[in-house]
Structure formats: C-alpha cells, structure tokens
Amino acid sequence: MNNSTKSHNPGRVVRRFRELASDRRGAGLVEYIILVGAVALASAAAYGQFSTKVGQKINKLGDNVAKLGGD
C-alpha cells in the first residue's frame, strides 16, 4: 500500500499528538534560552540608560589625569 493513498487513523494521530505534548525533553534548554534572552535585554536597556553618564564620568577622570601629568 502506498503512503500517499493510506488513510490517516484519527485515533493514532490524537495519540501521537498527546505523546508529543507530554514530551518534556528540551524544556530545560528552552528555559535557559529564555533566561539568557531576558538578561541580554536587561543589559541592553541598562547600557542605553547609563552609557552617557558613564562616558561623562570617564571623560572627567581622563581630564583630571591629564591635568596631573602637566599637559
């Protein structure tokens, strides 16, 4: 019998779907990826929020060091 002419058994399809739905393999990896993404988003937001202020502080410190050197 050819696979293309074979009729699908609805009970078998439902059973297979339930097996796939209850399969938890890879769930830890997905949770880890979500956590890494959340940390990346928080880091990007913090960088955007504080980058100007940090840059100003670094420039001010650099100016103070240059004054100490006598330049």
The domain ranges of the chain are: 26-71
Q: How far is CA 62 from CA 8, 54, 56, 58, 66, in A?
A: 74, 12, 10, 6, 6
Q: How far apart, in whole angstroms, are the C-alpha atoms of residue 53 and residue 58?
A: 9
pLDDT of residue 59: 93
pLDDT of residue 35: 95
Dihedral of alpha carbons 59, 61, 45, 42, sign: positive
For residue 59, the surrounding DSSP H or E stretch is helix 27-68
Q: Using one digit for the tens of pLDDT, what is the confidence trace for 9-49?
A: 788 888 888 888 887 887 888 899 999 999 999 999 998 88
